[in-house]
Every structure is written in structure tokens, then in C-alpha cells.
Amino acid sequence: MSEIKLIALDLDGTLLDSQKRLSYKNEYALRACIQKGISIVPCTGRIWNGVPEVLRNMPGVRYFITVNGAVIFDQETRQVLDERKLALPLALDIIHMAKQFETMYDLYIDGCGLAEERFMNQLERYGVEPTIQSMIRETRDIVPDIMDVVTKRGQPVEKINYFFGDMEERKRAREALLARNDVVVSSSLYNNLEINALGATKGEGILRLAGLLGLDPQETMGIGDGENDITMMQKAGIGVAMGNAEESVKQAADYITLTNDEDGVANAIEHLVLNLH
């Protein structure tokens, strides 16, 4: 097995516990890796400013793979190293397409989250759990009409999210989106769909960052729990699935660790990288 020099970490359901907290044990494991010169890279569906401050402020955490691989950001130089965004006409088409389904939608553009005012008082209707509701309210700018704002900005879009209260509607929307063949469709929650540009996956993000850093793909590790983490299992040198991961993620992984409420990240790092067991 190659020596691991980069560890890409999903956040929700992986590095963070069920209350969205970073445990002492997980933090200690990350800091031990940083001391050994290993790059710790948050690899998330969130935008950069949605990453918990404890990670953004942790000495040694320099690179971030955000929005499911759409943006690779160097915090030290404040530069975007690589991006794969939805072109404006395609993004507008996907927003318009949402109106065919019983869905709430929001998106990320230029590092900011946008959500429509009309959805904010009925998040439960779309199956949005309380912890996710809090995150949406904290990380989105509330606007009257997303289509109008995006059109006026005239910029490409990083990611579009659909949320569903009805799983049959979710299935119908997924099938329609996949039939397009011009976007990547994944999910990180049981009730959502995440729409990215082609090439914007976490696995591709790991490979591109490794290339920029002069690392062999075999020197990377990816740890995750959701469907949008499967590409990490496939592309990274070692793919680690959380104990609470979806079955499809576990099947794609090289190693299965404990759950996110049992410090599963620390457990995997101790076993596979720090050789403490």
C-alpha cells in the first residue's frame, strides 16, 4: 500500500457527527496527520464558507474541494485552482426544469447560496430535517426569484439542489435529469438531488488536486458516507466508507470504519495512516 499523503474528507455524516460537530478525537487525528505533512482536504457538497470555521481556521488545512468537486480552492493564496461549473444557459434550464416537479430548489453561484423566499416557511413539506433547515438558513441569501437573480448576474452556477417530500417525485426527477446526459446527478441526503456540471465529482476533484500537487492517485484517501461520495471510493487510492454509509458506498469502498457518531474518521486514520492499531 502506498504511503497516504492526501486525505479527502466528506463533512456531513462523515467528519461531523449527527449534530454537525467536529469531535475532539477526530480533530486530534486530523492534527496528527497535518504534523506528518499529510494534506487534510475537506471534500464537500457545501460551498467554502459553509465549511465549519474550526476546519477553515485549522493550521495546515489549505485546500478545499467544494460543491461536489465543482471548485478546488487554495485558502492560502485565495485562488480557485480548478472549476467545473454549469454554464448559465444550462443552469437556467435546470432551474426551469424544477417547476415540473413538486420540489424545493436552491443553488450556489460565485461562492454564495441562493434560496427563494417562498420555500423558507415550508421546508418540512420537502422533507428537510431541522439540522439541514438551520444550515440552509445560515448559508443562503434569500431572494424573491432565483431565475431572475441568476439571469442578472450572468455567471455560471456551481450546483443546483432539489429537495423532495415525495420520493416518487424524486425518482421521476432523477430519471428526467439523467436522461439529459449533460449534467452529473448525485445526492447526499435521502430526499435531495444535487446537479453539477460534467466532471464535477468528488472523485475527479481528488484526482485533479493530486495532479496539481504532484501526487500519485494511490497516495490519496477518500472518506465518505453518501451517494455523492462513491466517486471518492472509486478514484482515491483508498476509499473508506463510514459505518453509517449507504450500502452502495460500502460496496464501493476498500475499508469500512465506524459511524460518524463513533469517531469513524479517527478510527480509519489510526488504522490505515497512523498505524496506531
Q: What is the pLDDT of residues 222-238, one digit of tens each?
A: 999 999 999 999 999 99
Q: Which pTM does this prediction carry?
A: 0.93
CATH superfamily of 6-84+200-272: HAD superfamily/HAD-like (3.40.50.1000)
CA distances from 52 to 2, 22, 42, 118, 246 (A): 30, 9, 10, 27, 24
Amino acid letter for position 30: L
Rounded CA-CA distance 154/157 in Å is 9
Does residue 276 have a pLDDT over 70?
Answer: no
* Domain ranges across the chain: 6-84+200-272, 88-196
Q: Which CATH class is domain 88-196?
A: alpha beta
Tell me, yes or no, if the two domains 6-84+200-272 and 88-196 fold the same way: no
Torsion of CA 177, 182, 187, 192, to 10 degrees: -40
The 10s digit of each residue's pLDDT in 9-39 is 999 999 999 989 999 999 999 999 999 999 9
Q: How far is C-alpha 48 from the geometric centre of its chain's CA atoms?
A: 10
Contact 143, 207 (CB under 8 A): no
Give φ, ψ of 49 to 5 degrees.
-75, 0
The 10s digit of each residue's pLDDT in 99-110 is 999 999 999 999
Joined together, the cell numbers standing for residue 90 give 444550462
The 10s digit of each residue's pLDDT in 172-197 is 999 999 999 999 999 988 899 999 99
